[in-house]
Amino acid sequence: MATDISETVLDEAASRGETLTIHELCRLIERYDTGPGVPTETLDGYVRALGNSRFNESALRDGLDRQLTETDVWHDESTVYQLDGGVSAFPPRWHDELTGEQDLTQYVATMTTAVAGGSEGYAHGGRGAGVPEKLLQETATVFGGYSYDEARRELVRLRDIELLSAGADQHPNARIQLTSTGAERLDLDPESTDAAIETGTDRTKDPRIDE
Q: What is the pTM of this model?
A: 0.89
Name which of 45, 36, 41 is nearest 10 in CA terms. 45
pLDDT at 118: 84
pLDDT at 200: 61
Cβ burial of 111 (10 Å; 0-12, 13-18, 19+) is buried
User: In the chain, what are the domain boundaries?
Assistant: 7-93, 100-210
Q: What is the pLDDT of residues 54-79, one digit of tens each?
A: 899 999 999 999 999 999 999 999 99
**By the 8 A CB rule, do 83 and 95 touch?**
yes
Higher pLDDT, 107 or 19: 107
**Rounded-to-integer distance, Cα 96 and Cα 99, Å:** 6
Cβ burial of 181 (10 Å; 0-12, 13-18, 19+) is middle
